[in-house]
Structure formats: C-alpha cells, structure tokens
C-alpha cells in the first residue's frame, strides 16, 4: 500500500526519525456511492440498447425488524441504480413446502434475474433446503453449492456479497495483498470461508481462525490484514494487532441504546478506539463493510444478466 505525505507521522525514536503511516478510513459509504454510479451508467446503457432491465426479487418471511430493514435497503439500492425490484412477503406461518413452491415459481419466471431469500427464516423452515432450491443461475447471494464450487475454483460466478464487497473496498484503496498475511476471524459459509478463497486469489497467505483456535491473538498479531467476522462486539483489541495492520470489521451487532432514535446502535467486532490508532487502514462501523455488501449484491445482479441472459 502506498504512503503519501499527508498520512505520515515522523517520530524521533532513539534519536532516529521513524515513519509511521497514520490511520485512514476504508470508507464503504463513499466507495459504494461511486460503484453505484458506475452500475447506474451500465444499467442506463443496457436500457438504451433495448435489453432487459436487471430485476432482483427478494423473499421476506415474517416480521423480523432487522430483516425488514435489510430488505427495504436492498429495494432502495435497486431503485437507485435503475434495477427493477420485487419483494414477496409471506407470513411466518408459511410452510416449507409452500415456500419451496414460491422459489420454484421465481426460478421459472424469465422476468426475474436474481433472487435472494432474507435470512433468518422461521425455525420450522430448513434454510439450507430453501437456498439450495434457488436456481444457481439466479442465486445472486452466491450461496448455492454450484456457485460456491465455481468461486473456490476461481471461475466466473456470483460471489457472496460481503466478501465481494470487501475485496472491492480493498481494491479501491489499492491495498497491497500479494504476499501479505491475511488472518480471517470466523469460518462461516457466508463470510469467513468465501473470504479465505477470495484473499487466496488476491495472493495473500491466508489463516482462518475461529472459536476453537488456540491462542488466537498469536495469529492476529502476525497479520498484515485482519478481517474480523465473528459477531462479538469489540472482540479485536489494539494489543491483538501489529502496528500498521489493515483492519476490516465485518461485525454488526445491535446494542440497545435509548439515546438513539432507533433504540439501538450498531457495534462492530473491532474495538475501534484501541485498534484504529495502531492500524494503517480500518473500516468504521457503520459505514464500512455494510454498504459494500449491498453493492456486492447489485454487482451480482448485473452479472446475472451478463452470465445468463
């Protein structure tokens, strides 16, 4: 990664000048805005050439507040870039079989290019069964085993939106990845595992640590890039990273806070106050990975048109 003069702090150590790069934000809000403008330009071109407008459908089951917020945000994003969007809302009492039939109907509907099912689903519905019913050609979340396999082989396909968004963010800021040691905390199917595949493709040496890892800080302290995706607010502390590390905070946990309008605030997996001063680049929460995830989904929906139409 490049140092410019505005972000270099020179301190005198043992009578020798020593250059530290001071921390800068990996600003997901700003970068996502830029990418959305690029997507909109492509969509305008697609429309002008008489081709089909990309169309994203979302299935929302029940009335979970966070899920409703996420789906509303995805709908807003679609309108912003000129996609068509449809939200299919079902009562939490819908049976697994009924939901499978709804997914099949969308699979067979040529007007729809991408389908996401907002998780979590009610307990009586097997999430794996539902997501695997989505045609891999419309699986813009990139969760279908076919797409996971293509991704791990480095072949063109839909990439899980969060890791995809993170790669886009790192690329935007020209963060050097080749030969760097990337430590990923968390091994979930939607973040940790696919993130490891994408960072390998970016020529990183990748270590994945998780809840059963012994002496986790000994790994994170060796990392040039740390990606925290475990869902424990404030888990990564300043004494767990090396000076100058790049830190990506995936975590979003709602913490009750009566002083806010919503009654909660979002907290990341990184203890920003102790980590930021030691890092070279860091994502804020909110405004870091979250908006980039939303962009990842839009890019996949555009890709659906290019790959399968």
Candidate list 211, 218, 260, 262; residue touching ligand NAD; CB under 6 A: 211
Instruction: Report the length, in residues, of the chain.
Output: 309
Phi/psi-derived region of residue 67, left when phi > 0, alpha when psi is between -120 and 50, beta in every other case: alpha
Among 45-53, 80-88, 210-218, 256-264, the segment contacting ligand NAD (CB under 6 A): 210-218
Shortest spacing between CB 154 and ligand NAD, in angstroms: 22
Size of site (CB under 6 A) for ligand NAD: 23
**Is 174 a catalytic site residue?**
no
Cβ atoms within 10 Å of 181's Cβ, excluding its own: 16
The residue from 77, 141, 249, 271 that is catalytic is 141
Site string for ligand NAD, 173-192 (x = CB under 6 A): ------------xxxx-xxx
**Continuous H helices in the chain:** 28-48, 65-81, 96-107, 127-133, 145-152, 161-172, 192-201, 216-220, 272-275, 289-308
**Is 201 a catalytic site residue?**
no
- Residues 191 and 163 sit within 8 Å (Cβ to Cβ): yes
In whole angstroms, give the CA distance from residue 86 to residue 165.
Answer: 23
The residue from 36, 77, 113, 118 that is catalytic is 118
In whole angstroms, give the CA distance from residue 252 to residue 285.
Answer: 7
Find the binding residues for ligand NAD in span 224-253 (CB under 6 A): 229-232, 250-253
Site string for ligand NAD, 58-77 (x = CB under 6 A): --------------------
Find the binding residues for ligand NAD in span 248-277 (CB under 6 A): 250-253
Shortest spacing between CB 214 and ligand NAD, in angstroms: 11
Shortest spacing between CB 250 and ligand NAD, in angstroms: 4
Cα–Cα distances in Å, from 287 out to 102, 175, 251, 282, 292? 34, 18, 12, 11, 9
Q: In b/e form, how buried is each residue of 86-101, taking b as 16+ CB within 10 angstroms?
A: bbbeeeeebeeeebbe
Give yes or no for residue 162 binding ligand NAD (CB under 6 A): yes
Question: Which CB sits closer to ligand NAD, 9 or 255?
Answer: 255
Nearest-CA neighbor of 100 among 122, 126, 70?
A: 126
Rg (CA), the chain: 21
Instruction: Identify the helix (H) or strand (E) that includes residue 255.
Output: strand 253-256
Candidate list 133, 177, 280, 293; residue touching ligand NAD; CB under 6 A: 293
Give yes or no for residue 289 binding ligand NAD (CB under 6 A): yes
**Is 74 a catalytic site residue?**
yes
Residues that are catalytic: 74, 118, 141
Chain positions contacting ligand NAD, by CB under 6 A: 162, 185-188, 190-192, 209-211, 216, 229-232, 250-253, 289-290, 293
């Amino acid at each position: 990664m490049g140092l410019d003069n505005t972000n270099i702090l020179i301190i005198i150590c043992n009578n020798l000048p020593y250059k530290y790069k001071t921390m800068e934000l990996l600003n997901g809000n700003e970068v996502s805005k830029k990418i959305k403008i690029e997507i909109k330009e492509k969509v305008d071109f697609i429309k002008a050439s008489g081709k089909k407008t990309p169309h994203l459908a979302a299935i929302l089951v029940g009335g979970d507040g966070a899920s409703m917020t996420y789906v509303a945000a995805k709908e807003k994003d679609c309108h912003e870039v000129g996609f068509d969007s449809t939200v299919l809302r079902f009562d939490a009492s819908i049976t697994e079989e009924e939901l499978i039939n709804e997914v099949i109907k969308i699979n067979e509907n040529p007007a729809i290019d991408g389908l996401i099912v907002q998780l979590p689903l009610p307990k009586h519905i097997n999430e794996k069964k539902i997501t695997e019913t989505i045609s891999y050609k419309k699986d813009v979340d990139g969760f279908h085993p076919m797409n996971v396999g293509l991704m791990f082989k480095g072949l063109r396909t839909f990439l899980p939106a969060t890791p995809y968004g993170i790669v886009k963010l790192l690329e935007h800021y020209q963060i050097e990845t080749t030969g760097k040691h990337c430590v990923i905390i968390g091994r979930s199917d939607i973040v940790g595992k696919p993130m490891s595949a994408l960072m390998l493709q970016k020529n990183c040496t990748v270590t994945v640590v998780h809840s059963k890892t012994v002496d986790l800080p000994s790994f994170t302290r060796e990392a040039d890039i740390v990606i925290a995706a475990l869902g424990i607010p404030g888990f990564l502390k300043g004494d767990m990273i090396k000076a100058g590390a790049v830190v990506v905070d995936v975590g979003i946990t709602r913490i009750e806070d009566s002083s806010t309008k919503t009654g909660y605030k979002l907290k990341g997996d990184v203890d920003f106050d102790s980590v930021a001063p030691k890092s070279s680049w860091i994502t804020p929460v909110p405004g870091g990975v979250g908006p980039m995830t939303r962009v990842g989904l839009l890019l996949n929906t555009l890709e659906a048109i290019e790959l399968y139409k």
